[in-house]
């Protein structure tokens, strides 16, 4: 099965496929050989955009991508990110001018290219002026090292601040936002989506299967599914934990809804994410050819209003089950901000 370019990346006018290949697993949970096979298969199927990050396997993911795209670079929309710590030195992280100017050179070298189509701040940096970050990224555009820049998991108020700063100081405003969005993680609908739509920001959503909760294996009465993520952060996946009971019930109800409509839960999940008008492309992370084929098929599914209405009954619009599912640790919700010092 193949996929076609049917969308545009926000206000950029750049044509993009509904699915973007994500590479977080490459070099970490997938071997180089497996990763190269998946990249080749995805590109052969028509996917035109690849998303990676310098922190993925500490640069190994970018190096694997470089090997796979060497002869196809000009036909691809290549995105990577900065912010996460590289190595043991905390100075090799963040959104400062000092680190961004070094990090971009490192990513260009690892990816074997002279420019990045999209460079993204992987997370907000409360220790760095947002203006400094925007000015540095604007400079990289003028130098020709990046074509566009974006943010990842930036809350609505930072989106507004970024566009206000850009207007005030005559800068190019962010072009994209990357965030988690799925049937079980719908918080972005409340504030972020209205803001990014107002400013013409393209959204690259990730986690359409909610880190495996929507794979079809999480069912009421079923056994605890095993996965690398579940072992790494068990609290988010323990089906016996009280905090996860409502999520498990919702995942089970969504699985029944998919079955009742002749779909797999994967198809329902991908189609749901693609249905929102704020979404430019959904990032997928297939580990096998079978996974890739399932995602490609899902991208062709149209959901009727009756199904979308039933989804809203199962999971209220604009909500999520765990704060950590939003992809960030919100500073104002941390214990130090909530409790008085004694």
**Hey, where are the domains in the chain?**
14-174
C-alpha 128, offset from chain centre: 23
pTM score, whole prediction: 0.95
* Neighbour-count burial for 83-110, b at 16+ CB within 10 Å, e otherwise: bbebeeeeebbbbbeebbeebbeebbeb
Distance, in Å, from the CA atom of 180 to the CA atom of 213, rounded to the nearest integer, reads 13
Are the beta carbons of 104 and 116 closer than 8 angstroms? yes
Total Cβ atoms within 10 A of residue 166: 18
Q: What is the CB neighbour count within 10 angstroms for residue 299?
A: 22
CA dist 128 and 322 (Å) reads 27
pLDDT at residue 230 in the model: 67
Q: Divide the 342 residues of the chain into consecutive groups of 10 and give the mean pLDDT of each group.
A: 94 97 94 96 97 98 97 96 97 98 98 98 97 98 98 98 98 98 97 98 98 93 78 76 92 98 98 97 95 96 97 97 85 76 53
Phi-psi region of 210 (alpha: psi -120 to 50; beta: other; left: phi over 0): left
Beta-bridge partners for 146: 116
Assess contact for 16 and 9: CB atoms under 8 A: yes
**Is 56 a known active-site residue?**
yes
- Catalytic residue (one of 56, 148, 206, 295): 56
Asked if residues 183 and 269 have their Cβ atoms less than 8 Å apart, the reply is yes
Instruction: Round to whole Å and give the CA distance between 139 and 1.
Output: 41
Tell me whether strands 7-8 and 15-16 are parallel, antiparallel or unpaired.
Answer: antiparallel
The CATH label, of 3.20.20.100, 3.30.413.10, 3.30.365.10, 1.10.3660.10, for the domain at 14-174 is: 3.20.20.100
Alpha carbon distance 112, 125 (integer Å)? 28
> Taking Cα atoms as reference points, which of 6, 20, 5, 10 lies closest to residue 282?
20
Q: What pLDDT sits at residue 334? A: 78
Give pLDDT, residue 235: 72
């Amino acid at each position: 099965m193949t996929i076609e370019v049917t969308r545009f990346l926000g206000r950029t006018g750049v044509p993009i496929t509904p699915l973007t290949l994500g590479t977080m697993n490459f070099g970490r949970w997938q071997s180089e050989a497996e990763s190269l096979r998946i990249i080749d298969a995805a590109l052969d199927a028509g996917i035109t955009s690849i998303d990676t990050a310098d922190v993925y396997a500490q640069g190994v993911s970018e190096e694997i991508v470089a090997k796979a795209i060497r002869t196809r670079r000009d036909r691809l929309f290549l995105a990577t990110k900065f912010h996460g710590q590289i190595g043991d030195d905390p100075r090799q992280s963040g959104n400062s001018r000092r680190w961004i100017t070094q990090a971009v050179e490192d990513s260009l070298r690892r990816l074997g290219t002279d420019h990045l189509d999209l460079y993204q701040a992987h997370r907000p940096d409360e220790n760095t002026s947002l203006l400094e970050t925007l000015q540095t990224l604007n400079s990289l555009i003028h130098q020709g090292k990046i074509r566009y820049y974006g943010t990842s998991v930036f809350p609505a108020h930072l989106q507004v601040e970024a566009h206000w700063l850009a207007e005030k100081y005559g800068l190019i405003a962010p072009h994209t936002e990357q965030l988690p969005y799925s049937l079980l993680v719908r918080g972005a609908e409340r504030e972020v989506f209205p803001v990014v739509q107002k400013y013409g920001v393209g959204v690259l959503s990730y986690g359409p299967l909610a880190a495996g909760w929507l794979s079809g294996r999480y069912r009421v009465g079923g056994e605890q599914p095993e996965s690398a993520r579940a072992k790494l952060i068990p609290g988010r996946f323990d089906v016996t934990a009280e905090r996860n009971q409502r999520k498990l019930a919702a995942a089970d109800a969504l699985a029944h809804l998919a079955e009742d409509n002749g779909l797999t839960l994967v198809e329902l999940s991908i189609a749901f994410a693609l249905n929102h008008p704020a979404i430019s492309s959904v990032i997928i992370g297939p580990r096998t050819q079978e996974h890739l084929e399932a995602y490609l098929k899902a991208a062709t599914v149209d959901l009727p209003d009756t199904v979308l209405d039933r989804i809203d009954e199962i999971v209220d619009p604009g909500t999520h089950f765990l704060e950590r599912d939003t992809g960030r640790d919100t500073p104002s919700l941390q214990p130090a901000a909530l409790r008085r010092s004694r």
